Amino acid sequence: MENAPLFTNDAIVLGILMVSLGFVFLTSSKEEGFWKKFYSIVPALLMCYLIPAIFNSLNIISDETSQLYYIASRYLLPASLVLMTLSIDLKAIFNLGPKALIMFFTGTIGIIIGGPIAILLISIVSPETVGGIGPDAVWRGLSTWLEAG
């Protein structure tokens, strides 16, 4: 490889990403000084995406040679979602009332229906973006979107 990244071992790449995210979380929790001012302008979540992207752009790590995305999307993400849903206070959600629940479910249905419709419309305008034209493009586009998401 001519442009091999500086770090190719997945354990080291994971360590670099964990340290950088730990740095963001540590500095974003500061109550005074430079970091409080910094995070009042730049959201911490943006930094969680930006720092690894900078590492990738500077060829310190590479998304092409690392298998971390595959492992994170198949194992870490589902485990995180399960742990997150364990802390949901269902009683408090039901206490919000019927209007809030109707709004929540309407939004959910809108996202479920809106995603395929959006990909179908994009397939008409720019078929190469979603991998085809018509209903086949929706499923190809959704699988690509889910894989990248």
Mean pLDDT for back-to-back runs of 10 residues, the chain (149 residues): 83 94 95 93 94 93 87 86 88 89 91 83 77 61 52
SS3 49: helix
Q: What is the pLDDT of residue 129?
A: 73
Token pair 């993400």 is at which residue? Answer: 77
pLDDT at 123: 75
102 to each of 43, 92, 95, 108, how far by Cα in Å?
Answer: 31, 15, 13, 10
Distance of CA 55 to the CA centre of its chain: 17
The pLDDT value given to residue 41 = 95
Amino acid at 100: A
Q: Give me the pLDDT at residue 49, please.
A: 92
Instruction: List alpha helices for the chain, DSSP H.
Output: 10-28, 34-41, 44-57, 68-71, 77-86, 90-94, 98-125, 127-130, 135-148
